[in-house]
Structure 1
Amino acid sequence: MAKQKYRTLDDGTVIPINEGGGAKVFVAGVAIVAAVGGGTAAGVGGAASVGSGAAEALPGNLAGDVADSLPGRSLKTRKAEAKKSAQRGRKDETFSRFKLKQLKQAAKHEIDCLLNSTDRVREYLAQHRCTSLDRNLFAVGDGHGNAAVISVARVGFPKKSDAEGCEKVEEVQGSGDIKPLAATLLRLADVTFSGHHFQSKVDGKTMVVAETETVAGHLDSDTLDALADVSVLFPKL
């Protein structure tokens, strides 16, 4: 058997080189395998497979230590209680309503909305100046290997009517988007947000957009929808 070769990334992470034509990226001890030539990373859309099991895709997501703050409650009740927590800015409490915990977080404050938007949303922003762009990305998990990423973007405008107009464009499937932060900021394989688990709202002069996707294991569609519905209610973080 040939000796395994390794290389060191700029951040000091050591990863094995797969001589068989694919690339293996180890994230927190898990091999996420993607085919060379634009294949989808494992756990992100499902075109590739996850080595060693998706349960280890994020550090701390195998501890089995996630408390259920609403045992035996329905998803409808969980979402209603989570909305109250989210409006108060209590992220940990919000996620615990779904028997999840926050594993990682990234945030950026910017002004260039055109650079960070696409398609018709970008066209709208070219005609209606934004005043601020705040983007957050959270990784949450159930302590048993199942995890999701949540993107929350806040776009400020000079007038409330500008924010309302942008939301009308944004909420149409396929019309473009405020680009979520890259999951690589959390040292995960990047995620393509489908727009199927999406919620938006206008908060004063600000448009807020929340999107969710599974990043490891499995979270059902209704839970992903509920996470977007409550995360859009977070105040500016």
Structure 2
Amino acid sequence: MNVSRGKGNAKQGKRDAAWRDMGLRRLREASKRAADCVINSYGEVRTFFVRTPCRSLDRALVVLGDGRENEVVVAVSWVRMGTTEGARKLRELADTDGTGNVSPLAGALVRAAGVRFTGRYYDSRRDGKLVVIAETEPLRGKPDPEFMDGIAEIAVEFPPP
């Protein structure tokens, strides 16, 4: 497991190499672009988008496996805001527990129906007007919490699709 090398590969858009750095391989993936952040969010984050519309929203859902007993699902959202201030406020709000967030794609798209993202394994970053949010949850097995955190740290580094 090499999180720092995985983050470097992720920043370069080398998705499979980044996952290999963690001893994982991509099993299934789905992605979608949306024009409306309001209907694709919940809680105070949804209210924020009503007042401060996003410019674009791309979301991906990826199932990763270690070839043994563990499978995890990763949700990544790339939100482009109209201003850097809007992006700063969105990240601050989304990073606060209990305020809502951007809704991940439905788990059924990657044969992970019923997955519930708890925010336990979460990371985010802002780059100018772009906010990237990543969450991960175990699907099968008992992956180590530090390992799960590392996956979120890598996923948040990927550039938008």
TM-score in terms of structure 2 length: 0.97
> Paired residue for 1:228?
152
> Paired residue for 2:83?
159
Q: Quick check: 1:109 aligned with 2:109?
A: no
Gaps of 5+ in 1: 1-74
> Paired residue for 2:93?
169
More strand by share: 2
Runs of 4 or more, structure 1, over 3 Å off, are none
C-alpha distance in 2 between matches for 1:194 and 1:188: 15
C-alpha distance in 2 between matches for 1:179 and 1:208: 13
Among 107, 122, 129, the residue aligned to 2:46: 122
C-alpha distance in 1 between matches for 2:111 and 2:7: 29
C-alpha distance in 1 between matches for 2:150 and 2:31: 22
> Paired residue for 2:130?
206
**Offset from partner CA, 1:179-201 (integer Å, 9 cap, x none):** 01111001222211010110011
> In structure 1, what residue type is equivalent to 2:94?
E
Secondary structure of 1:85 counterpart: helix
C-alpha distance in 1 between matches for 2:45 and 2:112: 27
Q: Quick check: 1:178 aligned with 2:102?
A: yes
More helix by share: 2
Among 173, 188, 191, the residue aligned to 2:115: 191
Structure 1 segment 72-83 matched on structure 2, within 5 A: 75=1, 78-83=2-7
Shift of residue 144, structure 1, vs aligned partner: 1.2
C-alpha distance in 2 between matches for 1:189 and 1:235: 26
> In structure 1, what residue type is equivalent to 2:126?
V
> Paired residue for 1:139?
63
> Paired residue for 1:22?
none
Secondary structure of 1:168 counterpart: helix
Higher relative contact order (CA 8 A, sep 6+): 2
**Offset from partner CA, 1:12-68 (integer Å, 9 cap, x none):** xxxxxxxxxxxxxxxxxxxxxxxxxxxxxxxxxxxxxxxxxxxxxxxxxxxxxxxxx
Shift of residue 230, structure 1, vs aligned partner: 1.0
> In structure 2, what residue type is equivalent to 1:91?
R
> In structure 2, what residue type is equivalent to 1:92?
D
> In structure 1, what residue type is equivalent to 2:108?
T
Shift of residue 157, structure 1, vs aligned partner: 1.1
> In structure 2, what residue type is equivalent to 1:143?
G
> Paired residue for 2:73?
149
C-alpha distance in 2 between matches for 1:216 and 1:103: 13
Shift of residue 162, structure 1, vs aligned partner: 0.4
Shift of residue 145, structure 1, vs aligned partner: 2.8
Gaps of 5+ in 2: none
